[in-house]
Structure 1
Amino acid sequence: MQLSTESTQPVVNRLRRAQGQLAGVLRMLEEERDCEDVVTQLAAVSKALDRAGFALIATGLRECISEGAEADAEKLERVFLSLA
């Protein structure tokens, strides 16, 4: 199942923000910043990636259900569970 660019654009935007956050974590490490600050930012990156994954799966499920494609719904469920 292909997802439309329109439906995935919010996920792409979220991933770009996460990419920026990750670059910030790398800078913090290179600058030998405080460990607690680095871990806090790393947790934010991790959460952003998780949310992007769940948003992508939710979008896929919505499109799959609206199209009535049962086989794709089962596949999306397996992918969704792999994020847990």
Structure 2
Amino acid sequence: MKVTPEEQRKILNRLKRTEGQLRGIQKMIEDEKECIDVITQLSAVRSSIDRTMGLIVAENLKACLEQPADDPSEQNAKIQQAIQMIMKK
């Protein structure tokens, strides 16, 4: 994965924040918190992961367009792969 150091920092910060949310959910389950509260936090984690995935795909697509491959068919394959990753959501 090729991203700028700034983008890498952003991605890692998002993942660390998500990791903290997951630890919080584990604690909520241990403390027998209400189901709706746990589900709400799980939904927030899913949303965070989705945003992180979108950021990674967008950065890779941007790099693909700014630094095209020498082979047009290889370039097209990379773009199609990025589109498929976005559409899986």
Would you say same fold, with TM above 0.5? yes
Does 1:15 pair with 2:1?
no
2:49 — aligned with what?
49
Count of residue pairs brought into register by the alignment: 82
Q: Is 1:8–1:59's contact at 8 Å kept on the other side of the alignment?
A: no
Please, what is the CA RMSD of the aligned residues?
1.5
Supply the AA of the counterpart residue of 1:53: M
66-75 or 14-23, larger mean C-alpha shift: 66-75
State TM-score, norm by structure 2: 0.80
1:72 matched to 2:78: yes
SS at match of 1:4: coil
User: Could you list the per-position Cα deviations for residues 28-77 of structure 1 after superposition, in whole angstroms to 9, with x for gaps in the alignment?
Assistant: 00110111111111110010000000011011111111002313223322
Q: 1:18 offset after TM fit, Å?
A: 0.6
Q: SS in structure 1 opposite 2:20? A: helix
CA distance in 1, matches of 2:82, 2:12: 19
CA shift, 1:5, in A, is 5.1
Q: TM-score, normalization: structure 1?
A: 0.85
Give the whole-Å Cα distance in 2 for the aligned partners of 1:4 and 1:54. Answer: 13
Q: What fraction of aligned residue pairs are identical, expressed as a percent? A: 33
Structure 1 gaps of 5+ residues are: none
Larger radius of gyration: 2
Runs of 4+ in 1 over 3 A off after TM superposition: none
In the alignment, structure 2 segments of 5+ residues that lack a partner are 70-74
